[in-house]
Structure 1
Amino acid sequence: MNERANERAGEQAGERAGAGVRVTGVATVAVPVADHDRALAFYAGTCGFEVTMDGSFGPGQRWVEVAPPSGGTAGGTTIALVSAREEAPAGVDTGIRLATRDAGADHAYLRAHGVDVDPEVLRWPGVPPMFGLRDPDGNHLYVVERT
Structure 2
Amino acid sequence: MIRGVKFVSIPVLDQDRALAFYTEKLGFRLVTDQPFSEEQRWIELGIPGADTRVVLFRFGEEIKPGGQMNMTFWTDNVEATVGEMKRKGVTILKGPAKAGWGTSAVFADPDGNQFLVGTK
Over the residues paired in the alignment, what is the CA RMSD in angstroms?
1.3
**Among residues 10, 23, 34, which one is paired with 1:44 in the alignment?**
23
More helix per residue: 1
| Cα separation, 2, equivalents of 1:119 and 1:130 | 9
| Cα separation, 1, equivalents of 2:102 and 2:42 | 33
* Percent of residue pairs bearing the same amino acid type: 32
**How far apart are residue 123 of structure 1 and its match?**
0.4
Does 1:66 find its partner at 2:41? no
Query: What TM-score, normalized by structure 1, do the two folds share?
Result: 0.76
Over alpha carbons, which structure has the higher Rg? Answer: 1
Mind listing any 5+ residue stretches in structure 2 that lack a counterpart?
none
Total equivalences in the alignment = 120
Query: Is the partner of 2:57 in helix, strand or coil?
Result: strand
More relative contact order, 1 or 2 (CA 8 Å, 6+ apart):
2
Q: Which residue of 2 aligns with 1:87?
A: 62
Query: Is the partner of 2:16 in helix, strand or coil?
Result: helix
Does 1:98 find its partner at 2:77? no
Mind listing any 5+ residue stretches in structure 1 that lack a counterpart?
1-21
Query: Is the partner of 2:96 in helix, strand or coil?
Result: coil
Structure 1 segments (4+ residues) deviating >6 Å: none
